Structure 1
């Protein structure tokens, strides 16, 4: 028996996960949200946003496969102005993403005897991140119907989060008139706040051996693959600083052969550099660059792209408003009788990183999702109730 009862969140979640919305196919989910808002009768402004990958920053476009550069999709923001009694409250936003990973079509939610919702085992469930979307909408609807004073509330539902936070890059977050906000998108039962997020750089190195197919005994000579392995051996890898989780790693190695020839003349190395300390991430980036520049071999051309900061990290414990947001969340959890936990993530996988980079303080909170990105994904029904209650209290205390 759950302590808080918000069945509207559970019902909404079950309907939402049955709307197919894999990355780049979010329009049906945007339609669902818009129709739901109109049915509920909210006094609000609905902002549908068409986004085209060609409009991304150059360094971001360089990381995308060619076929994705030609794609478009949609996302949505909803703006609810403060009522008369809530004009002194801080304007706040609540965010989650509407895309899901594959296999995510034809999801069939199943209620289990131990209080969980799962898929039927053939798809993901989509609690990443429709649990956040459902709880936010249910909480706002209950707040509006209660007649309690509320400040300006902005809902931000993004596409393409699973493709590298791409949708968040199109959100005009500074123009939405908010002071701070909350992203509901991390694994774990309700009660977790993400205090720290890593800074990260993407690494791409391309190697090409000239005229390898025309060399006498070319198959016996070093080729792009052997040179790539030599370079990888020279690059720093693994955990450099365990306390601040500074590390670098090679994530893929691909080669290309001249037609009809057995050894590759081209190779592409991809990797990542990450740290909770921005200076340490930058130091590793410089080490990579120095090693790549001095790597010389016969007939070999090396080009590389270390890129600008791929993910903007942050540490809320080191800022005044960050500490205030953490403190307020902790107080609400204590009032709700829920254990409060401060966490950190090395994944960099939150839209909050984009909003923080834009200068808008944003706290990531858990919304109950478990075993995400697998066909064994699940969520406790109780967490949907608790997350909705949490959001209502965040609105009230803004």
Structure 2
């Protein structure tokens, strides 16, 4: 079965030029539903997540029954893109695709979507039997995996699948860290900074003292911590009453994740508790609140698991050599794995993502389509 290179290129270009920044996925959702309907989808489900995500669309679950008696699988992509993503125009130079202007290209994740569409077109025109398959297409991935978090896992009937969403090519991501999101609020006491500074307690100074002591950056080979934003204060002549710090801890080890998170909490708590009033004039005492929520769970797949053995066999059947790697970021695959759906991440060829220098090669999308066809046909049953 031959992949139609120019049809794939045209489909990819069309997808990229449909603006779909996070929460504004209505047009791309309608387009995808129409395309898969024309390809003979057995069932198209749009879930009710839009009310929770704020998107114009729910997540899509598109089912094809298939004729082979093989284990059902799913492929997952997200339909949203990061900004700037208004008025995308694709520039093609030979077989290299970039953005024509000052926007992202959108190959994250429309390179994956284009390969899914082309794979089903090839199967249809060759009248080739294939295994049962679902395409799980989420909203709001780029703003915190919001669509995947809102997806009811029972809507996905296949128990194993592949998230087509990583840079590079012929890479399979088997491990990704869990992450805790931290919101740390230090509360002090406001006072006029010129008239009565001794009446105040500076929340910013206390926050700075704690930040100077907490672990940050790369902690070890499995663990990182970062504090990304700090806000607070009302004016330069007011002792700042509040400072809010947003941060995160990530680790491939749940024990390390909790240990580093706990250490940060302890340092902020101890720093505030150690405050003293040098003049005895302060109109109150400081406090701190450390709110922690799990952003996404850990992803850990071992090489002997069926989802990895299957993609290895499929790649071998088309002469492709895969590499297996750990990632430092989270994706929808973290959420799916956390919900009991064994999901490996497969790279699509995109590079320089989340920037206006984003690009992808046509050959990489062709080879990704070939891998999907191998996964869908008897070579990997």
Q: TM-score, normalised by structure 1?
A: 0.86
Which residue of structure 2 lines up, in the alignment, with residue 274 of structure 1?
Answer: 250
Q: Structure 2: how far apart are the matches of 1:43 and 1:303?
A: 50
Partner residue, 2:282:
none
Aligned to 1:28: 27
Map residues 1-398 of structure 1 onto 2, 5 A cutoff.
Answer: 5-38=4-37, 40-52=38-50, 55=52, 71-74=54-57, 75-83=59-67, 86=68, 88-113=69-94, 115-189=95-169, 191-213=170-192, 217-218=196-197, 223-242=202-221, 244=222, 246-257=223-234, 261-295=237-271, 296=273, 297=275, 299-307=285-293, 309-317=294-302, 320-321=304-305, 324-348=306-330, 350-396=331-377, 397-398=380-381
1:99 CA drift (Å): 0.4
1:179-229 deviation digits (Å, cap 9, x = unpaired)? 20110000002x100021011111110011124349953189651111110
Change (3 A) 1:42 1:181: same
Q: Does the 8 Å contact 1:116/1:378 carry over to 2? A: yes
Residue 287 of structure 1 deviates from its aligned partner by 1.5
Deviation for aligned residue 1:147: 2.5
- The whole-number CA distance in structure 2 between the counterparts of 1:41 and 1:341 is 32
1:192–1:366 contact (8 Å) kept in structure 2:
yes
Tell me, what secondary structure is at the counterpart of 2:49?
strand
**Structure 1 match to 2:279:** none
Q: Does the CA contact (< 8 Å) of 2:224 and 2:251 recur in 1? A: yes
In structure 2, C-alpha distance between the alignment counterparts of 1:313 and 1:73, rounded to whole Å: 29
Q: What is the number of equivalent residue pairs in this alignment?
A: 367
Q: Structure 1 runs of 4+ off > 6 angstroms? A: none
1:41 to partner: Cα distance: 4.1
Q: Name the CA distance, whole Å, in 1 between partners of 2:93 and 2:66.
A: 40
Provide the rounded CA distance (Å) in 2 between the counterparts of 1:216 and 1:366. Answer: 61
Q: CA RMSD in A?
A: 2.2
The verdict on how the C-alpha distance between 1:29 and 1:278 changes in structure 2, with shifts beyond 3 A counting, is: same
SS in 1 for 2:47: strand
Q: Check the 8 A contact 2:189/2:202 in 1, yes or no.
A: no
- In 2, Cα distance between equivalents of 1:137 and 1:173: 23
CA–CA distance in structure 1, aligned partners of residues 36 and 226 of structure 2: 44
Secondary structure class of the residue paired with 1:264: coil
- Deviation of 1:276 (Å): 1.3
Q: CA deviation at 1:16?
A: 0.6
Gaps of 5+ in 2: 277-284
User: TM-score, normalised to structure 2's length?
Assistant: 0.90
Using the alignment, how far apart are the partners of 1:20 and 1:210 within structure 2? Answer: 47
| Residue pair 1:128, 1:185 contacting (<8 A) in 2 also | yes
Asked whether the 8 Å contact 2:91–2:98 carries over to 1, the reply is yes
Deviates more, 1:280-289 or 1:198-207: 280-289
What is the rounded CA distance, in whole Å, between the counterparts of 2:323 and 2:162 in structure 1? 16
Unaligned runs of 5+ in 1: 57-70
